[in-house]
Structure 1
Amino acid sequence: MPLHLTKIAFGAKSYDQLAGWYEGRGDICLTTRNRPTRHEECVGGSLFWIINHAIVARSTILGFEKTDDGRWDIVLEPRLIRVHQVPKRAHQGWRYLTDEKAAKDVAEGEDIGDALPGKLAMKLERLGLV
Structure 2
Amino acid sequence: MTLHMVKLCVGADDVGDLEAWQRRLMTRHPAPLHHTRMVPKQIDELLDGGSIYWVIKGVIQVRQAFTDIRVIDDRNGQRACELVFEPELVAVEPMPKRPFQGWRYLKPKDAPADLKAGRGGDDIPPDLHAKLKEAMVW
- TM-score interval w.r.t. the shorter chain? 0.7 to 0.9
Match of 2:55 among 50, 58, 61: 50
1:80–1:116: structure 2 CA closer, same or farther, 3 Å change rule? closer
Taking only the aligned residue pairs, the percentage that are identical comes to: 31
TM-score, scaled to structure 2? 0.79
Gaps of 5+ in 2: none
Q: Could you tell me the TM-score, scaled by structure 1's length?
A: 0.83
Aligned mates of 1:117, 1:106 — CA distance in 2:
15
Partner-residue secondary structure (3-state), 1:79: coil
Give the 3-state SS of the residue equivalent to 1:23 in structure 2.
helix
Q: Does residue 41 of the first structure (1) align with residue 45 of the second (2)? A: yes
What is the Cα deviation at residue 76 of structure 1?
A: 0.9
Q: Which amino acid aligns with 1:77?
A: E
Counterpart CA distance in 2 for 1:41 and 1:61 is: 11
| TM-align CA RMSD | 2.2
Contact 1:85 1:115 in 2 (8 A): no
Hey, what's the Cα distance between the residues in 2 that align with 1:103 and 1:22? Answer: 22
Provide the rounded CA distance (Å) in 2 between the counterparts of 1:116 and 1:84. 8
Is 1:13 paired with 2:13?
yes
Greater share of helix: 2
Letter in 2 for 1:121: K
Verify: 1:4 aligned to 2:9, yes or no: no
Point out where structure 1 has 5 or more consecutive residues left out of the alignment: none
Question: What residue number does 1:29 align with?
Answer: 33
58, 61, 77: which one pairs with 2:66?
A: 61
Task: Name segments (4+ residues, structure 1) moved above 4 Å.
Answer: none
